[in-house]
Amino acid sequence: MNFNAQQTRYAGIALVVLGAVAILNLWWLLPVVALSGVGVYIYRRQRAIGRINEAVQALLWGVALACSA
C-alpha cells in the first residue's frame, strides 16, 4: 500500500474518532454527523463551481435531515 501523508492523517483521525464514539457510547450521534457532513460537502462543492443557490439548498437539506435523524 502506498499512503501519502494526507490519507494517513485522515485514517488516523477516523480511528481516533471511532474509538471515542465506542468508549463514550455515542453511536446515536453518527447519523447526525454523517448527514451534516454530506450537506457541508455538497455546499462546498457547489459553491466552488459558482452555484450559490444550489449550495445553500444542499446545506439546508443536510442540516434539516441531520436534525430529523
What DSSP line would sit under 10-69, residue for residue? HHHHHHHHHHHHHHHT-TTHHHHHHHHHHHHHHHHHHHHTT-HHHHHHHHHHHHHHHHH-
Q: Do residues 28 and 69 touch, judged by C-beta distance below 8 A?
A: no
Domain count, the chain: 1
Q: How confident is the model at residue 42, as a pLDDT?
A: 86
Q: How confident is the model at residue 9, as a pLDDT?
A: 85
Q: What is the pTM of this model?
A: 0.65
- Domain limits at 38? 5-68
- Among left, alpha and beta (phi > 0; psi -120 to 50; other), residue 50 is left
Q: How confident is the model at residue 1, as a pLDDT?
A: 57
Q: pLDDT tens, position by position, for the chain (69 residues)?
A: 566 777 888 888 889 988 998 999 988 888 888 888 888 888 888 889 988 888 888 888 888 877 776
Cα dist from 28 to 7, 13, 23, 25, whole Å = 26, 19, 13, 8
Q: How confident is the model at residue 39, as a pLDDT?
A: 83
